[in-house]
Amino acid sequence: MNGKFITFEGPEGSGKTSVIIGVEKFLTEEGYSILTTREPGGIKIAEDIRSIILDIDNTEMDAHAEALLFAASRSQHFNEKILPALEDNKIILCDRFIDSSLAYQGHARELGIDKVYEINKFAIGDQLPELTIFIDVPPSVGLKRVFSNSRKIDRLDLESLKFHEKVYEGYMIIAKKYINRFKLVDGTQPIEKVIDDTIKIIKNIL
Ligand code: TMP
């Protein structure tokens, strides 16, 4: 397999979706074959699971059920869409992946990073991204952006600032654990600079 699997992570409102659009444009112009996708979602079954997980009315959702639903959607997405694209030598730009589960469900929901990794291993095997770009913004800044723009608010956005600070803390644990693939980019800079910094890191693996 000569494809490249690159994931993007960050707190709510980090701007990673805009960064992905900028990176996709640059790499496409350079002649690379790109597949852009997202989690939870990316294909029908996983998008259906996404709407259940993020529905603001599902306030009673149990943390274990939440972690399992994310893992289920990931299994379908990975096997149906990501693996075939990797085999087709594409560069995959994926908005969130396993590290979101480790930070949100493993650390912030206190299920345990290792435990959540285990259920994901059942879902996707040992496969990890080759590179993960973490768009680094303080949770309070990101949340302010979410609530002041037009993006639809979901169930996880509505968690407390304390929860989102714990998510961030989880990401910092993951950053130390996966120091070789997990790269931080300052997301408080102007968007063009965030995209440029990200492209510089990606070029190292192309
Ligand atoms: P998004 O807003 O970036 O599309 O992500 C949807 C929400 O789902 C966001 O609050 C992060 C959360 N999430 C998890 O809690 N665990 C996961 O494994 C994934 C992929 C997302």
For residues 51 and 41, what is the distance between their CA atoms, to the nearest angstrom?
9
SS3 180: coil
CATH number at residue 63: 3.40.50.300
For residues 153 and 150, what is the distance between their CA atoms, to the nearest angstrom?
9
What confidence tier does 2 reach under pLDDT thresholds 50, 70, 90?
A: confident
The reply to whether ligand 1 has any atom less than 6 angstroms from the CB of 78 is no
Instruction: Give the ligand 1 atom nearest the CA of 97.
Output: 20
Instruction: Encode pLDDT of 172-189 as tens digits.
Output: 999 999 999 999 999 999
The reply to whether ligand 1 has any atom less than 6 angstroms from the CB of 37 is no
Query: Does 31 score more than 80 pLDDT?
Result: yes
Instruction: Encode pLDDT of 14-28 as tens digits.
Output: 999 999 999 999 999
Q: Are 198 and 24 in contact (CB under 8 A)?
A: no
As for how many domains the chain has, the answer is 1
Query: How many angstroms is it from 100 CA to the middle of ligand 1?
Result: 6
Residue 199: domain span: 4-203
Nearest CA to ligand 1 atom 21: 100
SS3 37: strand
Residue 141 tokens, joined: 């800044």
**pLDDT number for residue 1:** 63
What confidence tier does 6 reach under pLDDT thresholds 50, 70, 90?
A: very high
Query: How many angstroms is it from 40 CA to the middle of ligand 1?
Result: 6
Instruction: Encode pLDDT of 135-164 as tens digits.
Output: 999 999 999 998 888 778 899 988 999 999
SS3 171: helix
Instruction: Encode pLDDT of 54-112 as tens digits.
Output: 999 999 999 999 999 999 999 999 999 999 999 999 999 999 999 999 999 999 999 99
Type of residue at 44: K
For residues 101 and 130, what is the distance between their CA atoms, to the nearest angstrom?
17
CA torsion sign, 37 to 68 to 114 to 137?
positive
Instruction: Give the ligand 1 atom nearest the CA of 16.
Output: 3
Nearest CA to ligand 1 atom 9: 156
Q: Are 95 and 39 in contact (CB under 8 A)?
A: yes
Query: Does 37 score more than 80 pLDDT?
Result: yes
Quickly tell me which residue has 């931080």 as its tokens.
184
The reply to whether ligand 1 has any atom less than 6 angstroms from the CB of 109 is no
For residues 139 and 198, what is the distance between their CA atoms, to the nearest angstrom?
20
Q: How far is CA 181 from the centre of its chain?
A: 14
With 0.95 as the threshold, say if the pTM is over it. yes
* Best residue for ligand 1 mutational test, from 156, 159, 167, 171 (most atoms within 8 Å of Cβ): 156
For residues 39 and 29, what is the distance between their CA atoms, to the nearest angstrom?
25
